[in-house]
C-alpha cells in the first residue's frame, strides 16, 4: 500500500505523507519548461542533471539503455531510430570554424554601429576581453568589445582604450598589444554607442519585457562585461548563459562557457588567443538552442510575472492536500523565464 503514494508528478520523488509532497511542490517550481527525460518524462532542474539521469553517474538504467541507442548527446533529445539519431546529431553538432573568420575580422575592426542599413536585430550578443589594471594587474579593464547579431554577423567590434593605465596586457589569452590600444576608441565613447544601440531610443526606466524596441542582450557572465563597460542594462532584456538555471550545474553554480560549448554544441573554444567574437557566436548559438525548445505553453504564453511564479499561495493547505499529483503539478509554475518564450510572437 505504500510504493507509489505521494509521488511527485515532476521529479518522481516519493514522500511518506501528502503534506510533505505539498511542501515539496511549493518549492520545486516544476513546469513544462524544465529539461525533461524523453523516455520516462522525469523533470530535471538542469540539463546537467538530465545528463546524469541519462548517461551517468548513477543513471536510470532503462533510460540509459534507450538513450545510448537513440539519444542525441548534445541536446539530449530521443530520436526514433539509431539512423534518425545519426542524422540529427550531425546537424546538432556545430563545428568551430571561427578561427579563420576571426583572422579576417581581426584585421577589419568595425568601430561604427551601422544598424540602419540592414533589418534591425532584435537579439544581439555582446562580449568583452579584459586586460589588467591596478598595481598587481588584477583589475579587469575592457580593451576589446564585440557585438554580433543572430546570424553571426559583426555589428560592432573594436579595441577600447580604458580610462585607467593598463599594467598587464594578458597577451597570451587576449592577443592585445600596446599598439592596439594607443589610438583605440575611448571607453566612454564605446559605452555611449553600445547603450544607444541596445536601448534603441527607449528610455532605460521604460523598458519592460516585450515592451518595445529595446534589444535582447545575450552573453555569458554579462555582469562583469557590463561592469567593465560601466554600463547598466535592463534585467528584463538580459539572457545570460551563466545564470540560466537549465544551463547551470546541479550544484546551482555557473558552468564555464568552454564547458557549455563542448557539452551542448560539440566543439572547443578558448584555444590559445581569445577573440570576443568567438564568445558572441557561441553564446548566441546556446541561446538559440534554448529558445528553439518546443515546450507546451499554457494559457499564459506571455510569461507575465504571475505566470512565472508558483501560485500555491492562493490555496489552503487542506485543499492542496486533497489534490491529485497531476493537479498539484499543473498548479506549479517555473521560477525563471524560459527562453522558449522569446519565440512566442
As measured in angstroms, the least distance from the Cβ of 78 to Zn ion is 9
Q: Which is nearer to Zn ion, 194 or 340 (CB)?
A: 340
Q: How far is the CB of 213 from Zn ion (least distance, A)?
A: 24
Minimum gap (Å) between residue 338 Cβ and Zn ion = 3
Which lies closer to Zn ion via its Cβ, residue 231 or residue 286?
286
Coil vs helix vs strand at 69: helix
DSSP3 helix / strand / coil % (the chain, rounded to 5): 40, 15, 50
Under a CB-based contact definition with an 8 Å cutoff, are residues 288 and 86 in contact?
Answer: no
> Quick one: which H or E segment has residue 278?
helix 276-291
Q: How far is the CB of 31 from Zn ion (least distance, A)?
A: 8
Q: Which is nearer to Zn ion, 14 or 167 (CB)?
A: 14
DSSP 110-122: B-S---SSSPPPS
Which candidate, 94, 97, 125, 98, places its Cα nearest to that of 265? 94
Cβ-based nearer residue to Zn ion, 65 or 112: 65
Which spans of this chain sit near Zn ion (rule: CB under 5 A)?
8, 10-11, 28, 33, 37, 39-40, 42, 63, 72, 74-75, 92, 295, 338, 340
Q: Which is nearer to Zn ion, 39 or 124 (CB)?
A: 39
The nearest distance, CB 80 to Zn ion, in angstroms, is: 13
For 206-249, give the DSSP string.
G--TT-SSPPEEEESSHHHHHHHTT----GGGEEETTT-GGGS-
Amino acid at each position: 500500500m505504500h510504493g507509489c503514494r505521494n509521488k511527485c508528478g515532476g521529479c518522481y520523488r516519493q514522500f511518506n505523507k501528502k503534506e510533505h509532497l505539498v511542501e515539496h511542490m511549493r518549492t520545486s517550481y516544476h513546469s513544462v519548461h524544465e529539461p525533461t527525460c524523453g523516455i520516462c518524462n522525469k523533470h530535471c532542474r538542469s540539463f546537467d542533471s538530465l545528463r546524469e539521469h541519462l548517461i551517468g553517474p548513477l543513471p536510470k538504467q532503462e533510460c540509459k539503455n534507450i538513450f545510448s541507442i537513440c539519444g542525441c548527446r548534445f541536446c539530449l533529445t530521443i530520436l526514433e531510430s539509431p539512423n534518425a539519431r545519426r542524422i540529427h546529431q550531425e546537424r546538432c553538432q556545430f563545428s568551430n570554424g571561427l578561427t579563420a573568420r576571426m583572422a579576417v575580422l581581426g584585421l577589419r575592426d568595425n568601430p561604427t554601429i551601422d544598424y540602419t542599413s540592414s533589418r534591425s536585430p532584435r537579439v544581439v550578443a555582446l562580449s568583452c576581453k579584459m586586460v589588467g589594471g591596478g598595481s598587481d594587474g588584477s583589475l579587469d579593464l575592457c580593451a576589446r568589445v564585440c557585438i554580433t547579431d543572430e546570424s553571426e554577423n559583426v555589428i560592432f567590434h573594436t579595441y577600447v582604450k580604458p580610462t585607467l593605465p593598463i599594467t598587464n596586457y594578458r597577451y597570451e589569452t587576449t592577443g592585445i598589444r600596446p599598439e592596439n590600444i594607443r589610438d583605440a576608441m575611448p571607453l566612454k565613447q564605446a559605452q555611449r554607442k553600445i547603450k544607444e544601440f541596445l536601448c534603441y531610443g527607449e528610455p532605460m526606466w521604460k523598458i519592460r519585457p516585450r515592451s518595445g524596441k529595446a534589444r535582447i542582450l545575450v552573453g555569458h557572465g554579462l555582469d562583469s562585461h557590463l561592469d567593465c563597460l560601466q554600463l547598466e542594462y535592463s534585467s528584463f532584456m538580459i539572457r545570460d548563459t551563466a545564470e540560466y538555471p537549465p544551463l547551470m550545474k546541479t550544484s546551482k553554480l555557473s558552468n564555464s562557457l568552454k564547458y557549455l560549448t563542448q557539452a551542448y554544441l560539440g566543439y572547443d573554444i578558448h584555444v590559445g588567443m581569445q577573440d570576443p567574437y568567438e564568445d558572441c557566436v557561441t553564446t548566441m548559438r546556446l541561446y538559440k538552442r534554448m529558445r528553439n525548445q518546443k515546450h507546451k505553453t499554457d494559457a499564459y504564453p506571455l510569461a507575465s510575472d504571475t505566470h512565472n511564479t508558483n501560485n500555491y499561495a492562493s490555496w489552503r493547505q487542506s485543499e492542496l492536500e486533497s489534490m491529485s499529483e497531476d493537479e498539484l503539478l499543473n498548479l506549479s509554475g517555473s521560477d525563471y523565464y524560459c527562453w522558449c518564450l522569446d519565440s512566442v510572437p
